[in-house]
Amino acid sequence: MIHPLLPNQLQKTQETMRMAAEFILRPISRKYDKAEHEPPVEMEQLNQAAAAQKKDSEIGDDSVKSMDLGGRNLWAVISLEQMCWGDVGLFLARPGTGLGNAAIMAVGDNEQKAKWGKRWAAMAITEPGAGSDSKNISTTAVLDGDEWVLDGEKIYVTDGDRCDCVVVWATLNKSMGKTAIRSFLVEKGTPGFSVARLEKKLGIRASDTATLIFDNCRIPRENLLGGKEEIETDINAAKKSFGGAMQTFDNTRPMVAGMAIGLGQAALDMTRALLAEEGYEQNYGGSMHHQTAIQSELEMLEAELEAARLLVYKSAWMMDNKMPNSKEASMGKAKAGRIGNKISLKCVEICSMQGFSEDHLLEKFSRDSKILDIFEGTQQIQQLIVARQVLGKSSQDLK
């Protein structure tokens, strides 16, 4: 879909990434869904296409000043939307960038961004006893001379086995709650850092999801992202430090929401194609009283998907233009995650056995869609964040 509000540069990105999704991802989608944990070697072609398109579009920090319509984050959302129209799991398995890269760019200083910004970085937050409530993180980081010592377990780490490095969230002082949470860069191969297991999953099977163990894992002092290890005695300063770490989500939630939009669009497109093969005639623009139940259902789903798309584009545009976007990022993630899952399940239902069969990808879309409503914050967490923003409440006031 070419969106009329986007400048020509970003429309070109849409076209290029859609072609890559159709001719690189779709043909191998089923292969790697069945070959779980097998690295998709073909993804290097997609890397080359994305790199060439990014260079041609010249979307970067400088262009934000001259092009009011969007910059790096909006470019990323649109690229992800189109690639996930092809296959969500394969996109997540693409070598080069991960969720940890967003943390490096959000929290790291200039030297850290230059050193690690282009490495393949996973992000390790979730623990057996701490999911969406990240302030309950129990993985510890203790300063010992010129080294940090990390101890703890992280679960459900996307690309945790294949990545080059991991951004690990840990606490400097458990008794201080969220004000003591910091993020650290740990490179693969560091003694004390190991992959305990890979999860078998309902969807996104092409992407590895790992459990990581940190046992007396020693990293250099400069691997603390942001470079400020002290826990400030001033509570406002401490909250600001934690807020810097949480800013990662303001970057990544629009990206995950864009993935959900791409999947939802893929399910709708495939459903219309399958219906057309059966002789079903579309009746766009006709009176609702003369529409079939299926046509009415599809048009309502498309309307909801477009509403989610505009919310997500806005949140990415705000980030590009240095505007606080926490509320908008959560609104877009909540809307897109929910509607992507709803669309994929409804499309399976509409297409009946063709939707349920492995002859088509609709059943895979429905399996892949649920994780997009869960990771980077569940539906309930997003609604809580939005409520706090709208009502002007703190996390202590509204839990």
Residue 46 CB coordination number (10 Å): 23
Residue 328 catalytic?
A: no
- The first and second tokens of residue 40, run together, are 């998709």
- The first and second tokens of residue 219, run together, are 């990293």
DSSP 78: H
Distance set, CA 208 to CA 37, 72, 184 (Å): 6, 27, 21
Residue 144 CB coordination number (10 Å): 10
- The first and second tokens of residue 74, run together, are 């909006």
- 73 near 319, Cβ under 8 Å? yes
Distance of CA 224 to the CA centre of its chain: 23
- 101 near 215, Cβ under 8 Å? no
- 372 near 263, Cβ under 8 Å? yes
Return d(Cα 335, Cα 145) in angstroms, integer.
47
- The first and second tokens of residue 216, run together, are 């007396």
Residue 329 CB coordination number (10 Å): 32
**Hey, which bits of 172-238 come out as E strands?**
181-187, 193-198, 209-220
Q: Which of 311, 309, 286 is nearest to 299 (CA)?
A: 286
Residue 105, helix vs strand vs coil: helix
Question: Which residue among 81, 127, 304, 376 is the active-site one?
Answer: 376
Catalytic residue ranges? 376
